[in-house]
């Protein structure tokens, strides 16, 4: 079990994730399109007469705006994560510096 190895190296984890993401791009010839359009296709294939009965309230006016919104989502999340973990780490180091548990 993994438990026996003292600690799965964090860099190792990052590397593995990176490899998992990059490998398909290199080895697989696909379009890597967004899946939404294909969802539509699959459904209309099964039920050709189906009409979506409700449209999104707001749609990003262009692909650029959409990617901006996605990036903001990731950036906000990543920023907060960095803040929290940095704070925790600083706190841990400070308390170990002053020798208080």
Partner 1 sequence: MNKKSRRLSLLAMAGLSLYWVIGAARPAQAMHIMEGFLPVGWAVFWWMVALPFFVWGVRSLTRITQQNPNLKLLLGLAGAFSFVLSALKIPSVTGSCSHPTGTGLGAVLFGPGVMTVLGSLVLVFQSVLLAHGGITTLGANAFSMAIVGPWVAWGVYRLFESRQQHKIGIFLAAALGNFVTYLVTSIQLALAFPAATGGVMASFGKFAGIFALTQVPLAISEGLLTILVWNWLQAYAQPELQTLKSIKGQEVVQS
Residues of the shown chain interacting with partner 1 in the complex, contacts defined by CB under 8 A:
1-3, 7-8, 10, 13-14, 16-17, 20-21, 23-25, 27-36, 38-43, 46-47, 50, 52-60, 66, 69-71, 73-74, 76-81, 84-85, 87-89, 91-92
Strand, helix or coil for residue 47: coil
Euclidean distance between CA atoms 67 and 58, whole angstroms: 15
Residue closer to partner 1 by CB (options 47, 64) is: 47
Euclidean distance between CA atoms 49 and 98, whole angstroms: 71
Euclidean distance between CA atoms 73 and 69, whole angstroms: 6
Least Cβ distance, residue 36 to partner 1 (angstroms): 6
Residue closer to partner 1 by CB (options 56, 97) is: 56
């Amino acid at each position: 079990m993994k438990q026996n190895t003292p600690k799965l190296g964090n860099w190792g984890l990052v590397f593995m994730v990176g490899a998992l993401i990059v490998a398909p791009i290199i080895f697989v010839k696909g379009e890597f399109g967004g899946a939404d359009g294909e969802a539509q296709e699959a459904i209309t294939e099964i039920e050709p007469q189906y009409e979506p009965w409700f449209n999104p309230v707001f749609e990003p006016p262009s692909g650029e705006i959409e990617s901006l919104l996605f990036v903001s989502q990731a950036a906000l999340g990543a920023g907060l994560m960095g803040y929290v973990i940095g704070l925790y780490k600083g706190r841990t180091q400070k308390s170990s510096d002053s020798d208080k548990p």
